[in-house]
Copies of this chain bind each other. A is one copy, B any other.
Amino acid sequence: MMKRRLALLTAAGAAMVAAESAHAQTASVPGRERVVVQISTPDPKMWNQALNYVENLRDLYGADKVEVELVALGHGIGVLKIESTQGPRIADALKLGGVHISACEVTMRRQKLKREDMLPNIGYVPAGLGQIIRRQREDWAYISG
């Protein structure tokens, strides 16, 4: 009888382990995949590619099943300047749900950029690098643009 209880417990334990580790595996994907993309190069080809990533991720997971944050910092800040080659694509991306576009205010100070120098409606983060690190800590996938 005791043995049987132990066996049941063991079985229950195993089921819990299985359930729990299934949870652990999907914990990162709580119904929504979350991805932070770093834009830090001065190359407009790479900026364009980062915007392709936004499209690709939405196609891949479904528009309401993915959250993407583009973080522009350092030499990548140009993607969010008012004269950016990517202006129209940024405007389009900003209309989508689950898309965040964040300019690094540390970079803006270094480059003496003000908000009026930047594309309309974008977001701002105090530190782009800190934002990327925070997203990694929050278990977002990380893609270097």
* Interface bits A14-25 vs B (CB < 8 Å: 1, else 0): 111111111111
Residue in A26, A35, A61, A74 with the greatest tally of chain B CB atoms within 10 Å: A74
**Option from B21, B49, B129, B136 in Cβ contact (under 8 Å) with A20:** B21
Asked if A97 is an interface residue, CB under 8 A from chain B, the answer is: no
Asked if A132 is an interface residue, CB under 8 A from chain B, the answer is: yes
Interface size of A by Cβ–Cβ distance < 8 Å?
56
Chain B residue numbers with a CB within 8 Å of A25 are 24, 137
Copies of this chain: 3
**Option from B16, B49, B129, B142 in Cβ contact (under 8 Å) with A57:** B129
Asked if A82 is an interface residue, CB under 8 A from chain B, the answer is: no
Asked if B6 contacts A8 (CB within 8 A), the reply is yes
10 contacts between A and B (CB under 8 A): A6-B9, A13-B16, A20-B21, A21-B24, A35-B129, A40-B145, A41-B46, A42-B45, A60-B130, A144-B144
Task: Contacts A19-B22, A60-B127 known; list 15 others, CB within 8 Å.
Answer: A6-B8, A6-B9, A9-B9, A9-B13, A10-B12, A12-B13, A13-B15, A16-B17, A16-B20, A18-B20, A22-B24, A26-B137, A57-B129, A59-B127, A143-B144
